[in-house]
Every structure is written in C-alpha cells, then in structure tokens.
Amino acid sequence: MNFSAVVVAAGSGLRAGPGEPKAWRLLGGKPIVRWSVEGLLSGGAREVVVVVARDRLGQVDEALAGLERWKAVTGGRTRAESVQAGLAALSGARNQPVLVHDAARPFVTRAHVERLLAGLEVADGAIPTLPVPDTLKRGEGLVDETVSRDGLWRAQTPQAFRIGRLKAAYRRWPTSEEPTDDAAVMERAGGQVAMIPGDPMLMKLTFPEDFLLAEQLAASRRIVRTGLGIDAHRFGQGDVVWLCGIRIEHDLGLIGHSDADAGLHALTDAVLGAIGEGDIGEHFPPSDPRWRGASSDQFLRHAVSLLASHGGRVLNADVTLICERPKIRPHRDVMRARIAELLDVPVQRVSVKATTTEGMGFTGREEGIMAQAVVSVETPL
C-alpha cells in the first residue's frame, strides 16, 4: 500500500513508573517500539520514520534489527514536536497518506491500517475512536458534576492524514498551545476528520498496570510451531567425525560435502521446517563450492537468524543420534552446550540422545550415522 508512517517513541514514559522509557521495554521478549514498527510494516508501509530521543539513536538499530524500510530521527520536547520532526523526514509526496502512530500502542495490525486508509478517502483525516464506557465526573476529591458522555469518544492512533495537509496544519497551530493528538491540529486548521471504529487492542500503554495486561495479550498473539529434521552420512576413511558441533576421534570419518555433521544438519532442517523455509539443501546447495568442507554451525546459525527475522525464537531442541559407534554419551554434555550456544537458548532446553539399532540396518552395519531432530519455536501468530 502506498502510505508512509511516523512512529513517535521519544517520550520519557513518566506515568509508567520507574524503568526504561516505554518504547524500549520488552513485551513478549521484544521492544515495544519494534511491535509498533512491525505492525505498520506488515500493514504495508513503504517507509516508517521512527522518532526517538537523542540518547536512544544508538539503541534503535538493535531494537529494529532485521527490519527494512525504516529510519530514525531525533524527537522533541513534546509529542507534537516529535511528530513534526518525523513528518519533516518523510520522503513521500505531498498527497501521500501518512499514519502517525504512538510507539506505545504495540498491537497495531494491517486491518487497522486498511480501515484508516479507507476513511481517509472521504476526509482530511481518519482516526480510530471508541465510545466512553464509564460515567464521567468532573471534580477534585469531591464530585463537582457529572459530565454527559453523549457524543464523547476516545481517540486512538494510528491517525491518517495526507503528508502535505498535515504539515500545513502543524504550521498553523499556535505555539502557545499543546495538542494531545494530530487530529486536533487538523481540526483547528479547518480539516474534516473521519471517525473510524477503534479497537481496544490499540490501547496505549501508559500506567504500570497496563504492561501486565499487554504481556498477557502479547502471549496470546504468539504460537508454537514444531519442525522435524533427519539426516544421514556415510562412513568413509578418516580418523575424526563431527557430530552436533563437536569433533570426535574415531577410526572412520563421515563423507559429505561439508563437515558431514548429521546432528547439526538435522537440527538446521528442523528449524527451517518449523518456519516453512524449505530445507538445508535449498539454502546451502551441495553444488556450491563455498560449502565444501564447511563447518555446519554456520548452517544452523543461518536457520536461527531466519527464524529471528520472522520474529521467532527457539523454545527447545531434541536430537537423537543413531549409530553403534562412536559412543555418544561421553560427549553428550559438550554437544548440548554447543547446540545451546548456536540456538541461543539455555542448555536445559537442549537434549541430545543416542541409540543403536541393535546391529540392524545401515546404522547397525556401521555404514553410516543417522540423526533426527525435533525443534519447537515460538513465532508471532
């Protein structure tokens, strides 16, 4: 879709209590600003300008690692200044739609984006709004009056405008006043703002208790997926075999294009399988001379970084090596530690088992070694 986005993340999050500013806190293991940027990118944004405090410019690369089509600029003292800094950095044409979004609303989705862009077709702005469910009181300790909630709505973000129109509206806004959203600026400039049905999921994380609720919501938006990998390599001449990233002296070697580490190959296929990303042969063709004699840990690392680019992480891995010899047990703990390092999980989440086939079949005749691996991963829904 042809729209740009500005994500404002330069606030200090005072109402959220002690700790990092909101955008940098983790939700489901991921910085909140990343949730918002990912939501807009998967909604089809062609460019996202992320507005951050000056001292966070270094951190934003890490928080948004692996994502594309974004850049960061420095924000201002107020939200309105931050929004204007973001607008100034947009590369889109005057007439292009822009969605201005609070980083502190992490659960934005493509469906929200589509509704807002449709609303913008008929107005100068479109904003998500929700009815006010509670009775409203004015007062300070004691109630002065009950305020009618007739015709009152809560405004959320993202808010949609056209770039040129919104910039012009901000230029006309009196510097003595402080708008609380962008629609207010457009309204003051005489623009028509369409009210689109909002969504409780677009809530803004503001107070400490909001983060507990958000953590539960985040968990419900992730799923567990499982992948299976199987590999076998033939014995040949040699005096060493590589298994699960460990060098083991043996009276035979394993034949393969790379280092023939059947354990790591099975694991790599299991990770790729869990995210539907094909198999090891597709990513590292045996015909490619680059992988001749290659150490297989780079295959597994690649699969894990692909998983990370899907927003996922490994939960656990279970490998079974099937051979009569070499004996695996003496090496099991080192193997587990090495795999844990490659998968970036605690060693307790990794299991390495071994079995013989009681002399039966190709493993029983010691013609080769087989490995099977099952990996569970967690990814966004």
* Interface with Mg ion (CB under 5 A): 11
What is the DSSP-derived secondary structure letter of residue 109? Answer: -
Structure tokens at 299: 């295959």
Q: How far apart are the first and last CA of the chain?
A: 22
Cβ distance to ligand CTP smaller for residue 11 or 128: 11
- Strands, E, within 237-307: which ranges? 240-243, 246-249, 253-255
Residue from 14, 93, 118, 223 binding ligand CTP (CB under 6 A): 14
* Listed residue (191, 6, 173, 202) closest to 86, CA to CA: 6
What is the DSSP-derived secondary structure letter of residue 376? Answer: E
Q: How many chain residues are in contact with ligand CTP, going by CB under 6 A?
A: 24
Min dist CB 54 to Mg ion, Å, is 17
Min dist CB 79 to Mg ion, Å, is 6
Min dist CB 153 to ligand CTP, Å, is 18
- Within 100-139, the residues that bind ligand CTP by CB under 6 A are 102-104
Q: What are the start-end ranges of the H helices in 53-144?
A: 57-63, 79-88, 110-120
> Which one of the spans 2-10, 249-257, 315-323, 363-371 is the region binding ligand CTP (CB under 6 A)?
2-10
Cβ distance to Mg ion smaller for residue 11 or 191: 11
The CA radius of gyration of the chain, in Å to the nearest whole number, is 27
The reply to whether 256 sits near ligand CTP by the rule CB under 6 A is no
Min dist CB 3 to ligand CTP, Å, is 19
- Within 20-39, the residues that bind ligand CTP by CB under 6 A are 21-23
CA 75 to chain centre: 23
* Element at 72 (helix H, strand E): strand 70-74
Binding mask 196-235 vs ligand CTP (x if CB under 6 A, - otherwise)?
--------x-x-----------------------------
**Backbone phi and psi for residue 200, each to the nearest 5 degrees, phi listed first:** -55, -25
Min dist CB 14 to Mg ion, Å, is 7
User: Where does residue 110 rank: exposed (0-12), middle (13-18), buried (19+ CB within 10 A)?
Assistant: middle
Cβ distance to Mg ion smaller for residue 11 or 106: 11
What sign for the dihedral angle of Cα 318, 322, 324, 326? negative
Select from Mg ion, ligand CTP, none the partner in contact with residue 77, using the beta carbon and a kind-dependent cut-off of 5 to 8 Å: ligand CTP
Residue ranges binding ligand CTP (CB under 6 A) = 8-16, 21-23, 51, 75-79, 82, 102-104, 204, 206
